[in-house]
Structure 1
Amino acid sequence: MQLLSSRKWRAAAAGAAALALILTGCAPGDSTFTYTPPAQVDGDLAEETVVPMQDAVNAAMAAAGASGAIVGVWVPWSGSWVAATGTQEPGGAELSTDMSFRIADVTRLMTCDVLYGLIDDGVVKADAKVPAYVSGVADMKDVTLLDLCNGTSGAGSSEDVVKSSWLNTPEREWSPLELASYGLGRARVPAHTTYRDSDAGYLLLGLALERASGMSASALIAKYVAGPLDLKNTSLPGRTAAPPSTGPVLNGHYSNPVEGGFDCAAPADITTLSASSGYTDSGAVSTITDLGRYAQAEAAQVLRSKKTPDRFAAPLPAYDGAPSWHQATGGAQIVGSMIGQHGWTPGYATAAYADPATGFTVVVVLNNSTTGGSIAGNLAWELAAIASKAPAASGQTVPEFGLPFTAEQFHQAIAERALPCVAPPAEEPAEEPEG
């Protein structure tokens, strides 16, 4: 895999520097919002750090059946690495770091930003019950809006039921309540006390916030997230099937199953899709530098205008048997000291994580969603483990920062999840007509 050309490296450096700008915009409410990100060394990470990270990206691409990846790593005390690796499809055009893509489950963080913005503005209360804003869910009379954000509603997930429909009819426009109903129809777990990965919960939360505010989910994310942070390439698109943006776009794919595995050599293109398939769970789009800036600000909770309720105060295990350093709440996965999210949406697997104290940030996207979101998440953590050991630049000091895992354990996890890529059976030649 080749790294960026010199022209693309200059564009990447400009994108990396953009993280260090002071962002001023219209904040929720009437006040003026100003955000100054942590100071960032203006320069590239050392080769000794970049080389193993590039090797990790190459391995993850192969495991995911992806032809391309875009990554951003910002180490405030050492430097940054923003790179596009691979091609749009096997044998296709090179990628660039300014391409837009679907950010999958990172959308959940933004939906919870809107909830907390509306709480801070006095529009809704955290303990408001879901049926007060969403019809047809009377059995959730004890479930709150905060439960939906925290993943403690008890509801299940819809994706296993509707995945084939997403892939086969990407232009279909979904009703959020219809989409959520497949998860709501599953057996529930006890509410309030157990975290459960539930796309249905974030779909319902989006509906509730729309009805409470009288604004569309797209307008709410623009007002409470993209606008204040000056994320010019970040939005929740409308329902009409379209590529992620009208500018440069990373093409998204999935690999079709064939006997013995998957056809990775000729993946199906699913770049054009209705964002209603993800809505407020996984429908938003962004670019690598926008998403890096967002992840850094999100981890530090700079969008909050009030201190209570404390969004990340009471995390729960991310899954049964999860290590103590992997928890979840507030729409986020909390991995060691890093806060973020990862997941998949048709065509893309995305992850974005940042450390609130230092601003250390890692963002990745792979352009094949066949293996789901785990490889993207594991790649982000592997890159974080490598980059966390980056030496301090001249005049800088390495902060007291460490992670409770190693790059090797996630490199191995990625290998174990590798897509079994096989060549499809050759077509038999047509028989010659007799005579």
Structure 2
Amino acid sequence: MRMFSRWRRTATAVAGAAAVILALSGCTGGSSPQARTPQQVSGDLPAETVDELQAAVEHAMAATGSSGAIVGVWVPWAGAWVTGLGTTSPDSDEAVTTDMAFRISNMTRPMTCDVLYGLAEDGVVGLDDPVSEHVASSPDLDDVTLRQLCDNTSGLAGSRDTTLPEALRTPEREWHPREVAAAGLGQDRTEAGVAFTDSDTGYLMLGTALQNASTETAAALFREYVTGPLGLRATTLPGRQAAEPGDPALPGFFSDGADRNEGCVDPREYTELSASYGFTDSGAVSTIEELGVYTEALAARVKDGDKPSERWSSPKPISTTSDSWYQYAGGTYIAGSMVGQQGSIPGYLTSAYSDTDNGLTVAVVLNNSAASDAVVGYLAKELAAIVSKVPAREGETAPEFGLPWTAEDYHQRIADGAVCPLPEGDGE
């Protein structure tokens, strides 16, 4: 297993090799043999590459009505680009900065799976325990396992479409996870273990089961199995009380139908929100540096030698029509050689991906959640494609690899998914 390369360059990470070894071989999802990849080289990416990256992010900002974005791109053999773009709100001149915290939406899912695999290693739960064993109020889920909840193969329907309107009306509302999950549990479900079904319900139920089995809160479990071993201080699963995602915080917004019709000029602010709405599905918060560190560390655990580790050993296609290289397992999308997530929570669209072989990592947040969460996933893949061809700095060696998509393809998909007006000529 490779060591993740930016450990010593991230101020918020724990110093020392012992902490790194603990993070990668201990309680966050399975131990594996370790191997090194080149350390992240210092310095900026080439100016022409930065221009391409910035144009891509600004294109996505326009498509989603976002006044601001924070983005991190780390290319171990060439350099990095970590920056804030735009302003904190449509009517503000305050610049976005890279130390601002935000909600990481579905990047919470792999963290919840980290807890599952950590508790399984510690003998607290079994990966194939039925949900009903740990959530007594769900006897009808005796044919669904904890592993299937993590893999999104539970067959459970999603809850978000039903509950989102209420969350937007009352962002300060404190939710019980079973209250949110009930919207999905009340719908018909498909056979467990057969196919991928994108279900927030499953991750809400997984968090509930892990709390019950361990008699610890989900927040404490995240500290023990996710953020503590990696030394992440700004990455947390907040409590139930509505609050900003951190201090300082990137303000988050949502443009409803009326605002979209007016050109996305007066979105409603959702910086303060109860994290109980997302809970162990999408409730966590972080900063761009810490999200990059986490995602790279996650990708470092996907392989055991040349083979997928247990958690990622049985991926499922996203759909019957999706590309063969696009699959799902272990709480993450598998896109070619990269793994990651993308998602939305009121106020934010967030995505992060990292290459399992060479450590190339991208992370990005947009501060308007009106568009489909697929759009921010498209942006992360566009950024990865742009930098995948960057030449190595003198004295470094670029890996031989390629991504099965082009930057141009995802640039167009973002234009096709725009919910706000694009500048003239920017939709091509």
Aligned equivalents of 1:37, 1:268: Cα separation in 2: 44
Report what 2:211 is aligned to.
210
1:149-160 equivalences under 5 Å are 149-160=150-161
Partner of 1:428: none
- Asked if 1:106 corresponds to 2:107, the answer is yes
Asked whether the equivalents of residues 253 and 367 of structure 1 are also in contact (C-alpha less than 8 Å), the reply is yes
Q: Distance in 2 between matches of 1:351 and 1:52?
A: 19
Match of 2:358 in 1: 358
Distance 1:387 1:278 in 2: 32
Measure how far apart 1:142 and its partner are: 1.0
* Preserved contact between residue 259 and residue 265 of structure 2 (Cα < 8 Å): no
Provide structure 2 residue ranges, at least 5 long, that are not aligned to the other structure.
1-7, 423-428
1:332 aligns with 2:338: no
Superimposed CA distance per residue, residues 67-95 of structure 1 (whole angstroms, 9 cap, x where no aligned partner)? 00000000000000001000111131111
TM-score, normalised by the number of residues in structure 2: 0.89
Q: Tell me by how many angstroms 1:138 deviates.
A: 1.7
- Indicate if the aligned counterparts of 1:255 and 1:262 stay in contact, CA closer than 8 A: no
**1:134 is the counterpart of 2:135:** yes
1:290 has 2:252 as partner: no
The whole-number CA distance in structure 2 between the counterparts of 1:202 and 1:324 is 25
Alignment of 1:23-102 (within 5 A): 24-25=18-19, 38-92=38-92, 93-102=94-103
> Can you list the C-alpha shifts for 1:352-384, whole angstroms capped at 9, x where unaligned?
100121111000000000013111100000000
CA pair 19-218 structure 1, distance change in 2 beyond 3 A: closer
TM-superposed CA distance for 1:50, in Å, is 0.9
Distance in 2 (CA, whole Å) between partners of 1:91 and 1:46 is: 32
Asked which structure has the greater CA Rg, the reply is 1
Following the alignment from structure 1 to structure 2, what is the Cα–Cα distance between the partners of residues 384 and 48?
Answer: 15
Q: Distance in 2 between matches of 1:37 and 1:231?
A: 22
Query: How far apart, in 2, do the equivalents of 1:318 and 1:96 lie?
Result: 35
The residue aligned with 2:228 is: 227
Instruction: Call closer, same or farther: CA 1:38–1:281 in 2, change over 3 Å.
Output: farther
Moved more, 253-262 or 334-343: 253-262
Structure 1, residues 303-327: CA drift from partner, whole Å, max 9, x if none?
99xx997111111111331100110
In 2, Cα distance between the equivalents of 1:70 and 1:138? 43
Please show how residues 234-383 of structure 1 align to structure 2 within 5 Å.
234-245=235-246, 247-258=247-258, 261=261, 263-301=263-301, 310-383=310-383
Q: Check conservation: 2:317, 2:326, Cα contact below 8 A.
A: yes
Tell me the SS of whatever aligns to 1:71. strand
**Matches of 2:259 and 2:375 in 1, distance apart?**
23
8 Å CA contact 2:84–2:97 kept in 1: the answer is: yes
Identify the range of structure 1 (262-271 vs 273-282) with the bigger mean alpha-carbon deviation.
Answer: 262-271
Secondary structure of 1:258's aligned partner:
helix
Does structure 1 conserve the Cα–Cα contact (< 8 Å) formed by 2:301 and 2:309?
no
Q: Deviations over 1:319-354 (max 9, x none)?
A: 331100110011000011001111000100000100
Distance of 1:165 and 1:37 partners within structure 2: 47
Q: Deviations over 1:226-281 (max 9, x none)?
A: 00001111000000000001x21000000122287355111110000000000000
Matched positions, count: 405
Report the 3-state secondary structure (helix = DSSP H, G, I; strand = E; otherwise coil) of the residue aligned with 2:276. Answer: helix
Q: Counterparts in 2 of 1:11-26, with a 5 A limit?
A: 22=16, 24-25=18-19
Name the aligned partner's letter for residue 78 of structure 1.
A
CA distance in 1, matches of 2:37, 2:47: 25
Change (3 A) 1:411 1:321: same
Computed over aligned residues only, the root mean square deviation of the Cα atoms, in angstroms, reads 2.5
Q: Is the 8 A contact 2:62 2:421 kept in 1?
A: no
5+ residue gaps, structure 1, are 1-13, 423-435
Change (3 A) 1:20 1:121: closer
Tell me, in whole angstroms, the C-alpha distance in 1 between the residues paired with 2:84 and 2:280. Answer: 27
* Distance apart, 1:131 and its partner CA: 0.3
* 3-state secondary structure, aligned to 2:265: strand
Change (3 A) 1:399 1:17: farther
Structure 1 equivalent of residue 5 of structure 2: none
Q: What secondary structure sits across from 1:405 in the alignment?
A: coil
**Relative to structure 1, is the Cα distance of residues 198 and 298 closer, same or farther in structure 2, using a 3 angstrom cutoff?**
same
How far apart are 1:37 and its partner, in Å?
A: 7.5
Partner secondary structure for residue 231 of structure 2: coil
Match of 1:426 in 2: none
